[in-house]
Structure 1
Amino acid sequence: MTEWSHWRRQLRHNGERRLLVLSGSQEWAIARAGELVDDNGNGNCLWLGEAAAARASCPQSKFQVALGQEYDSLVFNAYSGLHPDAFGAAAGAVMAGGIVLLLCPPLCEWPAYADPDLVRYVALPEQAAGINSHFLHRFTSLLRQDAEVLLWHQSSPFPALPALSRTLWQPVRDRRGCLNSQQRHALAMMLQAARRRQPLVLTADRGRGKSCLLGLAAERLLAADYRVLLTAPSPGAAAQALAQCDGPLDFIAPDALLAQQPDADILLIDEAAAIPVPMLLTLARRYCCLFASTEHGYEGTGLGFQLKFQPALTALVPDWKKVHMDTPARWSLRDPLEPLVFRLLALDADPATPPREGELTLRRVNRQQLLDDERLLQQLFGLLILAHYQTRPSDLRQLLDAPDLSLVVAFRAAIPVAAALLTREGALPPALGQAIWRGQRRPRGHLLPQSLAFHGGIEEACRFSYQRVMRIVVHPHCQQQGIGSRLLNWLQLESQQQEYDFLGASFGASTELLDFWQNNGFGAVRIGLGIDGASGLHAAMMLWPRSPQAQQMLPLWQGQFSANLTFYRRGLLRDLPDAWRRHLKLLPPASAATRDNTIAHDFAFYHRDLLCDQAALARFIQANAPLTPLSRCQQQLLHALLAPGAVPAEVARQQGLPGQKAVIQQCRLLLRHFFSVPSDT
């Protein structure tokens, strides 16, 4: 322990951090980690996962507590699951001289360990049993390859501590409070942008001092009599900025900021990538904003901020400024922990640029091929990141471990040009399908059948099998060549050798994407009633029928969707853009009375959703008389709730009922007047 303490002091001296893996039984690893942490003495430790009874710990699912914080030590108990997002976020919060203690089973046994985190990648918990983790195979291999990683096996003595350089790392703040030339340049740019009322975006990876610079800028601006506000996804994420500002800097949450609209000359936004893009754009319209954002995926939204928000900001304010920092402020440039975490989680995965011309080769790529070819894995994961602006480190684990996923790739000159990530869904047991339809069960996954059944009012949806295209992406260098359509066409032709009913997709419905999917033979079967907080778009679900049964059923589903959409366009979807409406291809409305009757019955006696069923319920009460009479007040309440655009909370207020829950229960009771007894079938 004397040697350990001396070595820790030397780490702080040269500004580096290290990873120590404690590989053995959980009891042994917890006990040894406790001794090592306690020996450090300052108590500034974050413990994620199970710990000894007397020690404070945090579940991995609550890893957001690490954002915006600094810790001298991190204990990550992987026996509680290796949650990639939690590991990346927490490791990024460890300060210079810090240690990450990773507790895990013996490395050779770890990939076969029943990791609790695997439950997140399957529909039912029992499906996680027996999965041999490709993600952990790769993870343990990278740990063994890194000479800077300390490995302590239970059956072995404590590892020899490597010699450290004697170079002193001692960041000294200048008179402005900056630690290096990049910070000085960024602060000057921020102050200049504020004076000119010009938006600015400050980007960097973790540990570069973005939050501190916001605080320093706020102090200078407040001293010059600017009205300055600070917002962030959480108060904890704003803690560093507040700590660096001696002036009266007020923090206000983003939703409160939108609701209250307080006056301000400058709005500082920390961890902007973790705030939905539509909310950021609304703030940018109301205030002169200085945005600070992490670029690589600890929070999982950095690339989305780059791909989605920044082009939208350009359309709004073409002359906004951007400044980037890559010099670490919280640890030395020689620190080996950050590049290790980047490798383990593929945080900087970058697709290779393919040639614009040449023959395309399309084929499936399996997990073993990804495991055997790290370069291919990095290229493909980087390509998939481009397809979705909220990619997180957990998506890498899903790609390598989720049992129902498959990957189809288009290559040109051996370089990935395009890819489609698919997942199997549906074909659920009848009892489970009925429970989903009635609102009694909501298992993980199975997006298409669950949403079509519960939200779309298609009772038989869970019986059918689906291949859902989770992501489809073409490298930007090769777009507008029809490659995405060729990829879908290959999937449609290949489907003759596959056993499923529908090829499907769910996506944020821009007019361009509506055209893309419909031009490739997909038909719309559902539109989300609300706007997605991250994309600012309504979600659309589209299907292409493969089997004869699917070909027979799809027009019926599309007809019902058209009938429902006609209703919702007079209410909840009245604000759909005209251009969006023109691009959507619909079949004539064709609702079935028997389907409406089933929806009304199971809404009345079970837990179906009022807003999703509103169209069917309105048709039902118009076509049917109650078996037991309703009073005039009851009739008025029922018609008020089923009017296009009715908002249950507002109807409750008008009717003098306690709230939304109470008024929906009243609606169920009133609809029971139309039936004799509930059916168990």
Structure 2
Amino acid sequence: MKMALDCLTEWHSWRAQLQHKGERRLLVLAGSQAWAMAQAQILTDDLQAPILWLGEHPSLRPTTTALAINKFKAALGQEYNGLIFNAFSGLHPDALGATAGTLKAGGVMLLLCPPLTQWPDYADPDLTRYVAQAEQALALNSPFLQRFVRELQHNKQVIIWHQGAAFPPLPCLSAQPWQPQVDRKGCLNGQQRHALATMLHCARTRTPMVLTADRGRGKSSLLGLAAQRLMQSGLTLLLSAPNQEAPSQAIKHCASPLPFMAPDAILAEQPKADILLIDEAAAIPVPMLLALAQGYCCIFASTEHGYEGTGLGFQLKFQPKLNELSPHWRKVHLQTPARWSAQDSLEPLIFNLLALNAEPQSPVGIKKAALHTRWITPATLVDNDPLLQQLFGLLTLAHYQTRPSDLRHLLDAPKVLLAVTFQGETPIAVALLGAEGALPPPLSQGIWRGQRRPRGHLLPQSLAFHGGLATATQYTYYRIMRIVVHPHCQQQGLGSQLLAWLQQHLPQKVHCDFIGTSFGASPSLLSFWQDNHFNALRLGQNRDGVSGLHAIMMLRPCSIAAQQVLPLWQGQFSANLQAYRQGIWPKDLTAIYQQLSLVPAAHSAKLDSLIAHDFAFFHRDLVCDQPALLRFVQSQARPDTLTIKQQEILAALITPGASPRLVAAQYSLSGYKAATQQARNIIKHFFKASSES
């Protein structure tokens, strides 16, 4: 059904009022995709540029920017008069949350979707991000969408137009007009003026500061305004953020060039600066933030709730540590919206739909006799939204980059388990686990040889391909993706109790060979997992660019088969570490190595030979395979076909820890790929496969 002329006139008049009031709204177009797209074009036909259309689209006017759903980050830092989100292309929660913040005051977000009763069973393309193989998504229904639809229908400010029905009545608007007024300093309200003055004072007195706000409060623009004033006063500034896109508004509001460096680059190079501005600080790991705070006078700006990271972990984990480091630090929080009216209904709606304001309930004292642990299903969470909010709030504390997509993963991903410890009815500890492994032989061989890399299955893939454990993909793992204890209940053994409960109850619920974990190896975390009988089997040689820590993978056996194979894997891991320590060993790994509980080195010559063969003839990784390649070459007679130079190049390339790039430069090779290919070609000489050499 198309809009009648009088309805269209009413729509235009209502939108003019919306603009005057500075509010934003959501209009849901529920029906077929063709119908929804046609109505969206009619409803936005009079809008001035810029307009953003996400997802599949018809032919659009030049004033409309079209982006694929997964390219939503290209819209960050922009502002739009209209926003069309085609959920037929996938309801990507991060994209929804991020782009809603780009809609200007007076704008309407149009959400195109299937009929609401059918939507949870729709083959949503976004579901493919939560399964190992795309076809698995076809059989899934979506508890996330069940909740999403329910919340849309219960919200009186949401306009829902069903295909075949008349155009819906439009909600009444607030009586208060809204018009932002920019003062001579560039501020839009009193809170901004106070925040700017505090930032300037803190910078000039070298006092650390934390500026927090939800989106649309002008936090990043204030960073830019402050930077301009400080540089004019002669101070040297440096800007950092989790990625280069995050501080675009800060750069935009600074008239002078504002140099940017990634956090890990700053820590590595230690450039000189009077003040370090850090935008979206909640998306940066706490150890890295503390290291930056030790080296610089920092102004930290952080979104409280958002798609880049959660401010809850930042608030509960980082700020107490900052207090120990600099007790005189200052904090300012912006509440007043700068880009839309305080009466805006879109922001609280998006917060609710994506659980962006989820927070754990604070427990009242811990009585161990009152504690109990049980499994919680997605169906339970959909039917109990307060529990969902509390559990998701707890999970946000376990990782510095919690995103709205993590909510959908929790509710929709298959083979995800949630174990929760309660004090009475209050959740105080939670472990989120995902099933991995038990892969079919053709896929396992493809992973081993570097030819396949299916989504998910982190532990078996990495242990096989990077760790050189050929049979790793055959076993079943439940990886603990997150485990967290409420901050008020920590240091009481609750995390260890939860792991012990999992060890006992997980094999009763599902077939499981190993419980596993992968994390950044800090001393405290390494002690925690080792104390709970987890065994290290892979250690990353390089620091993670985001966490600043070396990744480590650890397993605890559950089945008899796992108990039998684990010592063999541990022996191989110990032999590889021994080889790296005798080769080129990063100094910062020494402390981790000394803390590890290792079995005696005991490599398998047969496995080393298999690694060497499949490195030579397929696509295994040179740096990861260096220990096995070195042992293999040392155990073999030297082929007569190798020249002296080839022997020198090979010796340099298979030295454990050696950089292929540096070796390439030493021997006038074009780069990493050329050096790796040279190593493959030389290793081929050790096998009786002359036709392939």
| TM-score, normalising length: structure 1 | 0.95
Change (3 A) 1:598 1:660: same
For residues 256 and 552 of structure 1, the distance between their equivalents in structure 2, rounded to whole angstroms, comes to: 41
Any unmatched runs of 5+ in structure 1?
none
1:425-440 correspondence runs (5 A): 425-440=436-451
| Structure 1 position 442, deviation (Å) | 0.2
Structure 1 residues 500 and 283, CA gap change in structure 2 (3 angstroms): closer
Mapped to 2, the partners of 1:235 and 1:630 lie a distance apart of 47
- CA shift, 1:310, in A, is 4.3
Paired letter, 2:262: P
1:623 to 1:518, Cα distance in 2 relative to 1, 3 A: same
What's 1:384 paired with? 395
Residues 303 and 211 of structure 1: CA distance in aligned 2, closer, same or farther (over 3 Å): same
Counterpart Cα distance in 2 of 1:459 and 1:518:
24
- Asked if residue 89 in structure 1 is aligned to residue 98 in structure 2, the reply is yes
In structure 1, the partner of 2:44 is 37
**C-alpha deviations, 1:29-65, integer Å up to 9, x for none?**
111112212222x122111111113454101111112
Deviations 1:582-638 (A, max 9, x none): 321010000010010000000000000001111111111111124443111000000
Q: How does 1:327-476 map to 2 (within 5 A)?
A: 327-355=336-364, 356-357=366-367, 358-476=369-487
Match of 1:117 in 2: 126
Give the whole-Å Cα distance in 1 for the aligned partners of 2:22 and 2:552. Answer: 50
Identify the residue that residue 532 of structure 2 maps to in structure 1. 520
Q: CA deviation at 1:229?
A: 4.7
Matched with 2:500 is 489
CA distance in 2: counterparts of 1:257 and 1:480, whole angstroms: 34
Name the structure 2 match of 1:647.
659
1:514, distance to aligned residue in structure 2 (A): 1.8
1:174 aligns to 2:149 (yes or no): no
Give the deviation of 1:3 after TM superposition: 1.7
**Residues 231, 447 of structure 1: CA spacing in aligned structure 2 closer, same or farther, 3 A cutoff?**
closer
> Which among 551, 563, 582 is matched to residue 575 of structure 2?
563
- 1:352 alignment partner, SS class: coil
* 1:235, distance to aligned residue in structure 2 (A): 6.0
Q: Is the contact between residue 69 and residue 237 of structure 1 (CA under 8 Å) also seen in structure 2?
A: no
Deviations 1:467-515 (A, max 9, x none): 1111111111111221111111111112442322111111222222222
Deviations 1:336-375 (A, max 9, x none): 1111101000001111112312421111111111111001
Q: Which residue of 2 aligns with 1:131?
A: 140
TM-score (norm 2): 0.93
1:67 touches 1:90 (CA, 8 Å); kept in 2? Answer: yes
Look up the match of 2:262: 254
Q: Which amino acid aligns with 2:492?
A: Q
Are 2:52 and 1:46 aligned?
yes
The DSSP-based 3-state class of the residue aligned with 1:569 is helix
Structure 1 distance, partners of 2:691, 2:117, is 54
The structure 2 residue matched to 1:535, chosen from 542, 547, 569, is 547
The one-letter code sitting in structure 2 at the alignment partner of 1:454 is F
* Offset of residue 176 of structure 1: 2.9
Q: What is the CA–CA distance in structure 2 between the aligned matches of 1:622 and 1:236, rounded to whole Å?
A: 49
Q: CA deviation at 1:284?
A: 4.5
Q: Secondary structure of the residue that 2:471 maps to in structure 1? A: helix
Q: Does 1:634 align with 2:643?
A: no
Residue in structure 2 matched with residue 23 of structure 1 by the alignment: 30
Letter in 2 for 1:53: S
Question: What does residue range 208-287 of structure 1 map to in structure 2 within 5 Å?
Answer: 208-232=217-241, 237-245=246-254, 247-254=255-262, 258=266, 264-274=273-283, 284=293, 287=296
Contact 1:273 1:305 in 2 (8 A): yes
**From 585, 588, 592, the counterpart of 1:580:** 592
Query: 1:648 and 1:306, CA in 2 relative to 1: closer, same or farther beyond 3 A?
Result: farther
Provide closer, same or farther for how the CA distance between residues 459 and 478 of structure 1 changes in structure 2, counting only shifts above 3 A: same
Q: Which shows bigger deviation, 409-418 or 512-521?
A: 512-521
Partner SS for 2:473: helix
Residues 418 and 432, structure 2, Cα contact 8 Å, conserved in 1: yes
Contact 1:265–1:288 (Cα < 8 Å) also in 2: yes
Which of the residues 139, 142, 150 maps onto 1:141?
A: 150
- Residue identity matched to 2:108: I
Q: Displacement of 1:5 after TM fit?
A: 1.7
Q: Which amino acid aligns with 2:34?
A: E
Is 2:264–2:548's contact at 8 Å kept on the other side of the alignment?
A: no
Distance 1:379 1:547 in 2: 33
1:9 aligns with 2:21: no
Once the two structures are overlaid, the 10-residue window that deviates more, 235-244 or 536-545, is 235-244
Matched residue type, 1:252? F
1:619 paired residue number = 631
Which amino acid in 2 is paired with 1:598? L
- Alignment partner of 1:74 is 2:86: no
- CA offsets 1:313-351 (integer angstroms, 9 cap, x no match): 556545332211111111111111111101000001111
2:4 matched residue in structure 1: none
Change (3 A) 1:518 1:679: farther
Partner-residue secondary structure (3-state), 2:299? strand
Report deviation, 1:662.
0.4
Q: What is the CA deviation profile of residues 411-458 of structure 1, one whole-angstrom value per residue up to 9, with x for unaligned ones?
A: 111111111111111110011001100000000001111111001000
Q: 1:22 to 1:513 in 2, by over 3 A?
A: same
Measured in 2, the distance between the counterparts of 1:479 and 1:255 equals: 29
1:77 to 1:446, Cα distance in 2 relative to 1, 3 A: same
Cα distance between partner residues in 2 of 1:233 and 1:642: 34
Question: Aligned equivalents of 2:421 and 2:691: distance in 1?
Answer: 51
Distance change >3 Å, CA 510–CA 79, structure 1 → 2: same
- Contact conserved, 1:85 with 1:393, CA < 8 A, in 2? yes
* 1:198-235 Cα shifts (integer Å, max 9, x gaps): 23221111000112212322333244343445455566
Identity of counterpart residues, as a percentage? 60
Aligned counterparts of 1:262 and 1:488: Cα–Cα separation in 2: 43
**1:302 Cα deviation from its structure 2 partner:** 3.6
Change (3 A) 1:502 1:265: closer
Q: Which runs of 5+ in 2 are unaligned?
A: 1-7
Tell me how far 1:278 sits from its aligned partner: 6.5
Superposition deviation, residue 172 in structure 1: 1.6
Indicate yes or no: 2:673 matched with 1:667.
no
Following the alignment from structure 1 to structure 2, what is the Cα–Cα distance between the partners of residues 331 and 476? Answer: 35
Distance in 2 of aligned mates of 1:332 and 1:279: 36
For residues 188 and 462 of structure 2, the distance between their equivalents in structure 1, rounded to whole angstroms, comes to: 52
RMSD: 2.3
Partner of 1:196: 205
- Describe the shift of the 1:324–1:659 C-alpha distance in structure 2 as closer, same or farther (beyond 3 A): same
Conservation of the 8 A alpha-carbon contact between 1:626 and 1:673? no
Q: CA-to-partner distance for each residue in 1:149-198, whole Å, 9 max, x for gaps?
A: 00011111211112222311112233433222211211111010111122
Quote how far apart the aligned CAs of 1:576 are. 3.4
Following superposition, the deviation at residue 251 of structure 1 comes to 4.3
Determine if contact 1:277/1:536 at 8 Å carries over to the other structure. Answer: no
Instruction: Say yes or no: does 1:293 pair with 2:286.
Output: no
Counterpart-to-counterpart distance in 1, 2:306 and 2:584? 35
Aligned in 2, Cα 1:586/1:274: closer, same or farther, shift over 3 Å?
Answer: same
Matching of residue 103 in structure 1 with residue 115 in structure 2: no
| Whole-angstrom distance in 2 between the partners of 1:308 and 1:679 | 60
Secondary structure in 1 aligned to 2:402?
coil
Q: How many residue pairs get matched?
A: 678
Distance 1:50 1:385, change over 3 A: same
